[in-house]
Structure 1
Amino acid sequence: MIKPHKFMNINLSVLNVAYYIVTSLKVNKIMNYDELLMRISRNFEDDIKDIFILALTFLYSLGVISYDKKKDNLELLI
């Protein structure tokens, strides 16, 4: 869910998942989409695939990451 509400689990917010994505990409500048999703999902008990895509969109729109369609890789730009 993008818009917060009082019953929302803060750990499953877009900003929190985006933080884990940036932290993982700081270790490895370029990662495969599936590898990154698997690494991030280890930190959460729930299925985060939908939130993961929203977090990637958020980071891409801010210019923090780029996506190479041919190689299916995500790269940290900052």
Structure 2
Amino acid sequence: MFLEPNKYMDLKICTLKVSSEIIKYLLKKKNHKIKYSSLHSHFYSIYGEDCNYIIIPAINFLYLVGKLNYIKKKDELELIK
């Protein structure tokens, strides 16, 4: 996954933008956790069909940089401070 901008990149739905939106959304949650299906529903209401293509790379990016933890038993994403 490369994060280099190019002339075809849509800055409204790029990985960094969506990742920052995920962090903002999780910070609003009481315990900084959310079920994946709830997160997907929230972003589907914002981005529509594009959500299916942009949310997974954003989650992967946050996991790789150590900002997100996935709890398999509960299918939850947890923000790591």
Q: Under TM normalisation by the shorter chain, which class is it?
A: 0.7 to 0.9
Q: Look up the match of 1:64.
A: 67
- Is the counterpart of residue 49 in structure 1 residue 52 in structure 2? yes
CA separation in 1, counterparts of 2:49 and 2:7?
19
Matched AA of 2:17: N
Whether the 8 Å contact between 1:65 and 1:77 is mirrored in structure 2 is yes
Aligned length: 78
Percent sequence identity is 33
Deviant stretches of 4+, over 6 Å: none
**What is the SS of the residue equivalent to 1:67?**
strand
Alignment TM-score, normalising by the size of structure 1 = 0.87
Alignment TM-score, normalising by the size of structure 2 = 0.84
Tell me how large the CA RMSD over aligned residues is.
1.7
Gaps of 5+ in 2: none
Gaps of 5+ in 1: none
Matched AA of 2:42: R
